Chains A and B, each alone.
Chain A
Amino acid sequence: DTGVSQDPRHKITKRGQNVTFRCDPISEHNRLYWYRQTLGQGPEFLTYFQNEAQLEKSRLLSDRFSAERPKGSFSTLEIQRTEQGDSAMYLCASSLVDGSYNEQFFGPGTRLTVL
């Protein structure tokens, strides 16, 4: 296993379309996180999962954003009715929580451009 992977790496879409991104975490990691990074800014936390349970989703940017991790492995992030302001890099990270604090490992990101 070489790390966190994300697909696609780039997505160009027209305003109003729905998009879905996939994240595959490091295989033994039980926590999975989504962040958004806009140009020139640090990543901004969106949501996270412990196995298949979504433990925090109040930071999702609007009700157009949703995430799932149905089997506790890969996760998807969907944005409905995209807007130009959604253009950003969407980052996924994973970590192993085993009673001690462990760092998050990030994937390469999906760059979204909304025209």
Chain B
Amino acid sequence: AQKVTQAQTEISVVEKEDVTLDCVYETRDTTYYLFWYKQPPSGELVFLIRRNSFDEQNEISGRYSWNFQKSTSSFNFTITASQVVDSAVYFCALSEGNAGNMLTFGGGTRLMVKP
């Protein structure tokens, strides 16, 4: 069975600090996909990134970067120079290759960035 764990339920930082959100996953499939979504106070889930299990290359997009390590079953998300607008709940999710794209979400990490 697939499972996603986000051990940090809440993180508070001061603006301009770097912050890393942890994600650990479990799956028996060799083909799977990992995602990060952002849920701002408005409530709508916003897609941030997708990685497949065959591509461990780290990715950077502006202030966002993702570190995928199969050896530790982790897919961590770092925000550099955080801003108040980054305040939101962030979800990590997993989809197994043959599961019809069903997403299994972690419990989320609430990030609060203070000015």
Contact = CB atoms under 8 A, between A and B. Distances in A.
B102 A56 contact: yes
Interface string B4-19: 1000000000000000
Given A35-B103, A40-B108, A101-B101, 17 more contacts: A31-B101, A33-B101, A40-B107, A42-B4, A42-B106, A45-B104, A48-B100, A48-B102, A50-B100, A56-B100, A93-B45, A103-B35, A103-B47, A103-B50, A104-B101, A106-B37, A106-B46
Interface string A92-115: 010101000101111111000000
Given A89-B43, A108-B43, A41 B35 contact: no
Report the 4 A-B pairs with minimum CB-CB distance, sorted nearest first.
A42-B105, A106-B45, A45-B102, A108-B44
Most buried by B among A95, A104, A107: A104
Nearest to B44: A108
Contacts of A43: 45, 91, 103, 105
B52 interface: yes
Nearest to A107: B44
Given A48-B100, A91-B45, A101 B106 contact: no
A44 B102 contact: no
30 contacts: A33-B101, A33-B102, A35-B103, A40-B107, A40-B108, A41-B108, A42-B105, A43-B45, A43-B91, A43-B105, A44-B105, A45-B104, A48-B101, A48-B102, A50-B100, A56-B100, A89-B43, A101-B50, A101-B52, A101-B95, A101-B101, A103-B35, A103-B47, A103-B50, A104-B47, A106-B44, A106-B46, A106-B47, A107-B44, A108-B42
A72 B35 CA distance: 26
A69 B100 CA distance: 17
B64 interface: no
Contacts of A44: 105
A61 interface: no
B43 A109 contact: yes
Interface string B34-56: 01010000111111001010000
Contacts of A91: 45
Interface in B82-115: 91, 93, 95, 100-108
